[in-house]
Amino acid sequence: MSEDNEKKNIFDQMIDMVSTRDEKQEVEELQKEVQEAQLKAMAAKEAAAKASIQDEKQKAELQKQLDEANKRAAEAEEKAVLLEQKLQASAAKPPSEDADRWEQRYGRKEKAAEPKIITTHELTSEETLSHLALKYYGHATKPYWMVIYEANKDVVGDNPNLVHKGMQINIPELPEELKDKE
């Protein structure tokens, strides 16, 4: 029996050796897998750390840009408030103050002398301003009838061609520059 035990032992030993070898190989493979998994985990951890660092950098950069934009917006708002206050202050001033300041700075502008009115003429249905210019000034051209029109804008309106029967038209004295052309 001892031979059987020896045989068995040898056989068992061989099985044990084979199974141990297989198990050892499995253990080694598992250890390699664990090491690879650990390396992958470390790499993932490092990548995550880098990503969070990049995220932090990006967050910091974005925050910086946001702060600058907010600062510019605040400055623009402040300028707008100051401008609005300035406009309100200038609107509160009487208009005569602005006119006085203008006159002081640029000198008094002489008021255009009101032309002396020669006569008043009531229009008939056939008359135009050039008819009046011809009658009173001896010329029917534009410079002459424009003198009549300018003196009667309040009556005639914006279009010198729209005159109507019954309008009371003031005939001003002819300006010096047109008198020379006679």
> What is the DSSP code string of 46-113?
HHHHHHHHHHHHHHHHHHHHHHHHHHHHHHHHHHHHHHHHHHHHHHHS-HHHHHHHHHHHH-PPPPPP
Q: How far is CA 102 from CA 86, 91, 98, in A?
A: 18, 16, 6
Q: Are residues 124 and 168 in the same domain?
A: yes
Q: Are residues 16 and 104 in the same domain?
A: yes
What is the extent of the structural domain holding 16? Answer: 1-109
pLDDT digits (tens, 9 = 90+) for 104-127: 666 555 555 677 899 999 999 999
Q: Are residues 6 and 65 in the same domain?
A: yes
Q: Are residues 175 and 125 in the same domain?
A: yes
Q: Are residues 70 and 121 in the same domain?
A: no
Q: What per-residue confidence (pLDDT) applies to 95?
A: 55
> When comparing pLDDT for 176 and 109, which is higher?
176
Q: Are residues 92 and 143 in the same domain?
A: no
pLDDT digits (tens, 9 = 90+) for 27-57: 667 777 777 777 777 777 777 777 766 777 7
Q: Are residues 40 and 129 in the same domain?
A: no
Percent of the chain surpassing pLDDT 70: 65
Q: What share of the chain is helix, strand, coil (3-state, %, to 5)?
A: 70, 5, 25
pLDDT digits (tens, 9 = 90+) for 69-79: 777 777 777 87
Q: What per-residue confidence (pLDDT) applies to 166?
A: 94
**Among residues 109, 132, 148, which one ends one of the domains?**
109
Paired tokens of 168: 């009371």
Q: Are residues 94 and 133 in the same domain?
A: no
Q: Are 170 and 115 in contact (CB under 8 A)?
A: no
Q: What residues contact 124, with CB distance under 8 A and at least 6 apart?
A: 165
Please state the domain count of the chain: 2
Q: Is the pLDDT of residue 165 over 70?
A: yes
Q: Are residues 22 and 76 in the same domain?
A: yes
**CA quadruple 143, 146, 148, 150: dihedral, nearest 10:** -130
Q: Are residues 127 and 91 in the same domain?
A: no
**Among residues 62, 93, 109, which one ends one of the domains?**
109
pTM for this prediction: 0.40
CATH code where residue 165 lies: 3.10.350
Q: Are residues 133 and 97 in the same domain?
A: no
Percent of the chain surpassing pLDDT 90: 30
5-15: average pLDDT:
61
**Among residues 60, 90, 109, which one ends one of the domains?**
109
Q: Is the pLDDT of residue 4 over 60?
A: no
